[in-house]
Amino acid sequence: MTAPHTPRCIWLTGATSGIGRALATRLLDQGHRVALSARRFDALQTLAGDRDNALLLPLDVGDRGAMLTAGDRIAARFGRLDLALFNAGTCEYLDARHFDAELFSRVFSANLFGVIHGVEAALPLLRQARAQGARPLLAATSSASAYLPLPRAEAYGASKAALSHFLESLRLDLAGEGIDVSIIHPGFVKTPLTDRNDFPMPMRVDVETAAEAILKGLEAHRLDIHFPRRFTLVLKLLGILPPGLRFRLGRRLARDPAATEASS
């Protein structure tokens, strides 16, 4: 996604905050035609400014009908998609003392089903690009937490692990059609979402570093785009340890319920 002389048709969700905003700005500045999706229309307007290569599609990714309508609007304006980049997501941590199934519904709606809805809407447009001789790419932002179960991440981590599994399986089925699939597994990135975290975040990078790593990986159609690699490689290694050892290591990261109760 680095060559301004070859503009591409792109759909980016989660475009107005954090990593998505950094990606959107770069893609627009490079001259690509970018359909931008986020919940708030005013935020999309501010992001796009006076650029004429932006298509504003405000929506909630958890709304299947809205996503399909967005696909129709992209078809009408662009006629195809060279890249579908599903970046929208959310994070809520579980307090197991007060188990809340609705928390899982909210997190999975955005992190997993939001991407599934996008894939349904985007596939016909990716196939159209392929029919025109392009090598289209479908990509989505998972998380390095998909590599390793962590305390309080029952909803967030499970949604991202499910997303990564879904995309790896889909990659196998789309390969024969000439449609590539990239999965993005960031470590900690400084965003409004991670600013709410109440625990240490080792090797956290800024959004510009994240956007650079993602765009380089997408340009190469890399299967697994993960960064910062010193951090993500450690998580990958921990994720393949025997279950008993993983449990003992993870238990050290869990909060003491008695101490948590006393401080609340």
Task: Report pLDDT for 160.
Answer: 97
The single residue of 86, 93, 156, 166 carrying the catalytic annotation is 156
Q: What is the CATH number of domain 9-263?
A: 3.40.50.720
Confidence of residue 211 (pLDDT cuts 50, 70, 90): very high
156 is catalytic: yes
Percent of the chain with pLDDT strictly greater than 90: 74
Task: Report pLDDT for 25.
Answer: 97
Task: Report pLDDT for 261.
Answer: 47
In whole numbers, what is the pLDDT of the chain averaged over residues? 91
Domain map of the chain by residue range?
A: 9-263
Task: Report pLDDT for 247.
Answer: 86
Of 19-23, 40-44, 229-233, the one with minimum mean pLDDT is 229-233
Task: Report pLDDT for 164.
Answer: 98
pTM attached to this predicted model: 0.89
- Tens of pLDDT, residue by residue over 141-172, are 999 999 988 888 899 999 999 999 999 999 99
Task: Report pLDDT for 254.
Answer: 75
H/E/C letters for each residue in the chain? CCCCCCCCEEEEECCCCHHHHHHHHHHHHCCCEEEEECCCHHHHHHHHCCCCCEEECCCCCCCHHHHHHHHHHHHHHCCCCCEEEECCCCCCCCCHHHCCHHHHHHHHHHHHHHHHHHHHHHHHHHHHHHHCCCCCEEEEECCHHHHCCCCCCHHHHHHHHHHHHHHHHHHHHHHHHCCEEEEEEECCECCCCHHHCCCCCCCCECHHHHHHHHHHHHHCCCCEEEECHHHHHHHHHHHCCCHHHHHHHHHHHCCCHHHHHHHC
Reply yes or no on whether the pLDDT at 177 is more than 90. Answer: yes
